[in-house]
Chain A
């Protein structure tokens, strides 16, 4: 059947017209079609809304907790608190004192999480201070939390990194340099000073106690720098830090702790699930065999055996503190709490300050106050030296809180697993380097490291 030419042309025109109309309709719809809705995140301008203050602070604190967990994941097996029993061989480097490997995945992961938390902590202060200045901040405690959170992350940076760079989004920033790292403690202390008059309730001892910690950490840092030698006089003291610790302690009761917390939502990173998961669930490392018995099959601790040097009995503080983290009775603990400020640490700081200044009575009072928290017999000067007892109580009461490497270095303790040619063995005071990912992407890094 043939179709007449005029009919054909008519049909072609009609078909082409229909198609053109459809195309035009599609064109008209195009801009709205392309305006897709993906409500999984918000734009940067969302941070400028005063109503977002709580979300900014919460985000910062959750990131800080994640950063602490990731950083401890490198620091715990690096120290003598734990040793590697798992499969991920970059823990081997840490366990054997090879802290200088810039490509170590756990060092790198920790740095990444810490960097994100640091940036967010700074951002939170900028935004919340801005809201406050504009009169839009209804709850001043949000500003206190912003300062406290920033102080925590800055203190962590000072405690376990040799050097650090602060950049802003895509704009690279130079590194501090190993010699200038104590400046992070100064920033932390300044924020806490701003926070102090504003803090209420449980934040008040947290702020004061954190400032004591900052000052103590800075003093330890000064003992260990320049790096490479064990300080002849490892103890630190200071009027301000003792005053802060004392004032904070006065506000604390009931084994007070200000803790960073994680859940499955805010722990872990590209390399691991945070220190709790890696130690308790995946069991990549496990507590030192001097502290707990270890099941050779599973690598899990079965009982705390740490012995109090005063009594020779199992140390009740060790049982309490270690079980808070590894919880031998509960094998399903992936998110142990991470104390940042505690009554125990205040007593330790006060005791150390007293010992450093030759006030043995003050030391005994402070240390026995600590020992009394767990019902341990009072120390009367018999048994271990006061210095040894201080070391032991710090090791037990601050276990798995990222403090141990500093103490090992300043007290001249070497992990038996550290190889003689490792940086940890050779160069006391050397912590974790700026990792490969930052070296590759930040052309402004100029620091010369001695830790290699």
Chain B
């Protein structure tokens, strides 16, 4: 069946991708001949853009003649070519993020080629950079009172998806790796949590169109829809970190805004770029403990000797087998990119295609089931721009993505082979299923750790299944996605323009969960053993309509130069999702696997429509080009509040002052200095139906029925985040050394909290209610230095940090909420006075020296046992459960002790770059965080303390010592002391379950050799050639007791809920983040 699913699901998407690619290339083929045409009365400008100091050519710099609508991008040699330049005086500008812009005025003669070379200085401060996000029009950074972070994709970094582009590059922006499963999605957070119940993820736009940036899940594994965006197609990313900057985006923007701008075409002959990389992923096996066991009888030891083909197993002596580790291998990743750009002055294009394949480091195939561990995407993107007249600019952008993720069941899931391998106990491994009569002298064992026909060969903890059986469960996410936008810009003058954008993002996603008839090959698993299948469709359509007008004026007043930029606009987002699906179980026999063959069949359906939109206006006044004041507001409507509800107003104001631009002012080595402040509001709206009292389906054998659903709250409004921020940038020594500091403070009022009304009232679900407030503040600090810049050596350094403090200040008298209310192990709470998600649980009682916190039977309540009493208690062999059951372990404050918070106090990154002997570039990026705690006992509880899966060396030593008749009471006392550091789970939830989650990780390292042009031409016939070796997540330094503190229980989970957001620090049977070592080749033509 698996091959059938693959054959029907996989190729179709990729064939469609290929067809679209052919279609787009056909367009480019049509456009290309136009590039050769040269209009009369025009000339050409060519040149090279180099870096000041090193003389290195700069690739990717944008060279523009704005009043002629011309632009070009430099190639790997720094060369550019501008054809069809009007024969007149023109102003040529060169810009690139991270460099000080350069401008030259040129006179072009007809039919002549003019040369204009540029030298750009790397700049630690980018006040002159132009940004678009949040301003309703392009403007210089220095005019804004708020921060707009810019990320330019690094050329040779080990980045295979869009989320990785965001990781470690901007203080306060966290892209949280969730695990080492192939294709697993990341979570994105900006400045902590701006909501308790609504999305804490920023809204994401691609080329002005709001996209589906949600996560998708299947059987515990997840993916991120942000990763559909081809990272090689991204020109730059702009990030608004909070309400102060994102006001004009209105409702939904309080967790920040990410604007992704894809690459544009540049006129000229076609330029091709090809890159290929291959990488290998491995898990950090040095941080993984083997699976340990201990035999407690001689006959058990004898059986285990056969099972594990070893003679050194004796009763009460722990032994280990690398059971989990046996299923690791070197995963292979491959990425291919091909792009072409070119065109005429009036029509240009950029087309790119990408194929990406990631085979994870978990060797699911070795289990011989249907489950794999790979993820792949194919995508095609294009950008077409045309200028039918000097006043009209029309552009169309689009992407088609086909995606397939085929992974095992995963996460906190007893049917995940990963879970079952982690808590397999070698001491209970057996092949009895291969020897049901007990007559085989080999007891059904075929070879070390392998059964003849089936059995519990890994020592999986019985009840749930074996890794082999659960590997028969297939979990597939397949998606086809079209993202298109259409821009129309009318520019009657350089002072006034109107711009409209209409875009659609449509994602059709199918999740398939399948297990074949009779997959219980080891006779253990009990879950629908006659097979089952579920097919769940998710169709998401997001429409963006956006129109705005800009009016720019410069004028004098009282002898001073004033400028005014006014923007008015209207924006709407229409979202519609449908969820048809079917599932069934009990197939009539092996080989059939369609839901309509199942003995029990179910269908499901759902529709969710949301609309929100608003109007905005903004005025920016400039005084002598060094003082800028901006004020604006947005008025928003949302369908969540009904068609008759009034809208909500979000105001903003900001000021920016650049002392170093004041004529006559000088500050010694200070080359740039700006101070700024901003205040703004933004919001979050509840889901579509939260306002209404509703009854939903309650179907079953009694027939189609109704049941209480939403309580409803007619007074719902958006929660409002008000944020102020202030800061400064300082550049020294011609901006070769730069500092940036921002302090921000956020207050969320009308906080939407999931109020739990008495469940005895019948409506048992929580109801969103505007009852709370939450405060947060923090600082973001950055330093960048270009220390040394010479042709043969340049060195630059950077470091940044973000500090965060946040707490819930009011819940309006509502009771605290426990995250995952019905799952006792999760210890995160939403509680007044604490950070959201703070953990509470058991802490060991502090007792006097010479005592142990055991409440022995017979001792007065609250009196700890003395060592002498313990020795007496431990006089005879006993099980560890004697030191566990019945509240024998003494706690400080029941389950109410504060165990720490999930969100870090500080996060940041540092690194260095160096260019050596012109052709070699070395880059490193370290990421760190601290002050956060990770709950890891969904693993440790089993491995250390549960009857199911206890398999650590320390536990087996304790168990062996306590049970061994040959142990002395003193030895058992040592074991009893060790046990205090292992005991966890009910009735001691929280005890020993939380660990310091701080870490430092070498996130990226790369070494690139860029061949001289002659070498590229000689060996590849290419105009440029570069090879890179790189690595991602190579080293980890942490005090974390588990394997990897970045692993999260819920991955890039779907939906909005507190349960979703505040389980991010829960490490639950996830695969550790993989080390990826790669090699790439990049060629330009």
Contact = CB atoms under 8 A, between A and B. Distances in A.
Contacts of B695: 41-44, 46-47, 59
A116 interface: yes
B586 A270 contact: no
Given A43-B694, A166-B760, A85 B526 contact: no
A210 B370 CA distance: 49
A164 B822 CA distance: 19
A377 interface: no
Given A15-B549, A85-B462, A86-B948, A118 B762 contact: yes
Contacts of A89: 824-825, 941, 946, 985-986
Nearest to B942: A87
Given A93-B986, A262-B701, A271-B823, A59 B707 contact: yes
Given A36-B688, A266-B698, A60 B756 contact: no
B557 interface: no
Q: How many A residues touch the partner, as a band?
A: 35 or more
Nearest to B586: A332
A170 B607 CA distance: 27
A253 B134 CA distance: 76
A254 to B, nearest CB: 20
Instruction: Point out which of A38, A43, A169, A442 has the most chain B C-beta atoms below 10 A from its C-beta.
Output: A38
Contacts of B942: 87
B580 interface: no
Interface stretch (A132-140, A238-246, A391-399, A433-441): A433-441
Interface in B738-789: 756-764, 767
A92 B463 contact: no
A128 to B, nearest CB: 13
Interface stretch (A95-103, A341-349, A382-390): A95-103
Contacts of B520: 331
Interface stretch (A200-208, A214-222, A293-301, A316-324): A293-301
B526 A298 contact: yes
Given A169-B763, A331-B529, A92 B986 contact: yes
Interface stretch (B73-81, B492-500, B668-676): B492-500
B705 A19 contact: no
Contacts, number: 331
A123 to B, nearest CB: 7
Contacts of B545: 26
Interface string A117-159: 0111001000000000000000000000000000000000000
Interface in B791-816: 815-816
Contact of A65 (B700, B820, B946): B700
B493 to A, nearest CB: 5
Given A87-B948, A332-B530, A41 B710 contact: yes
A436 B989 CA distance: 15
A34 B638 CA distance: 7
B736 to A, nearest CB: 41
Contacts of A266: 698-701
A52 B391 CA distance: 62
Contact of A30 (B586, B637, B887): B637
A37 B762 contact: no
Contacts of A96: 885-886
Interface in B681-707: 688-689, 692-707
A406 interface: no
A369 interface: no
Contact of B987 (A22, A33, A93, A284): A93
Interface string A290-331: 000001111110000000000000000000000000000001
Interface stretch (A178-186, A227-235, A275-283): A275-283
Contact of B414 (A282, A331, A332): A282
A250 interface: no
Contact of A60 (B530, B705, B816): B705
Contacts of B885: 92, 96, 419
Contacts of A37: 607, 609
A6 interface: no
A283 B822 contact: no
A90 interface: yes
Given A40-B607, A93-B986, A12 B689 contact: no
Contacts of B763: 116, 119, 169-170
B602 interface: yes
B31 interface: no
A437 to B, nearest CB: 6
A359 interface: no
A16 interface: yes
B62 to A, nearest CB: 24
Given A35-B639, A296-B462, A170 B824 contact: no
Contact of A297 (B495, B524, B698, B700): B524
B708 A120 contact: yes
B610 A58 contact: no
B704 A171 contact: no
Interface string A50-72: 00101111111111011000000
B464 A87 contact: yes
A340 interface: no
Given A39-B607, A282-B527, A419-B886, A169 B701 contact: no
A86 B463 contact: yes
A191 interface: no
A57 B609 CA distance: 30
Interface in B876-905: 885-887, 895
Interface stretch (A107-115, A350-358, A360-368, A407-415): A107-115
A39 B463 CA distance: 41
B490 interface: yes
B886 A36 contact: no
B158 interface: no
B701 A261 contact: yes
A11 B701 CA distance: 68
B696 A440 contact: no
Contacts of A167: 757-758, 760-762
Contact of B760 (A8, A30, A43, A438): A438
B464 A105 contact: no
Contacts of B607: 37-40
Contacts of A12: 492-493, 496, 551
A328 to B, nearest CB: 11
B110 interface: no
Contacts of A170: 711, 757, 761, 763, 767
A157 B404 CA distance: 49
Instruction: Point out which of A59, A103, A123 has the most chain B C-beta atoms below 10 A from its C-beta.
Output: A59
Given A262-B700, A299-B462, A168 B600 contact: no
Contacts of B710: 41
Contact of B609 (A23, A36, A165, A296): A36
Nearest to A52: B706
15 contacts: A12-B496, A15-B496, A19-B549, A36-B688, A37-B609, A38-B608, A59-B707, A86-B948, A103-B824, A116-B707, A170-B711, A264-B600, A266-B700, A331-B526, A442-B758
Interface of A: 1, 3, 8, 11-12, 15-16, 18-19, 22-23, 26, 30-44, 46-47, 52, 54-63, 65-66, 85-87, 89-90, 92-93, 96, 98, 101, 103-105, 108-109, 111-113, 115-116, 118-120, 123, 164-173, 261-266, 269-271, 280-284, 286, 295-300, 331-332, 334, 419-422, 436-438, 440-442
The 7 nearest A-B residue pairs measured at CB: A119-B762, A59-B705, A58-B705, A266-B700, A62-B700, A270-B822, A167-B761
Given A115-B764, A168-B761, A263-B600, 18 more contacts: A8-B496, A33-B639, A37-B607, A61-B705, A87-B949, A89-B824, A92-B987, A104-B824, A109-B822, A115-B759, A170-B757, A261-B701, A262-B701, A280-B526, A334-B528, A420-B886, A422-B886, A442-B760
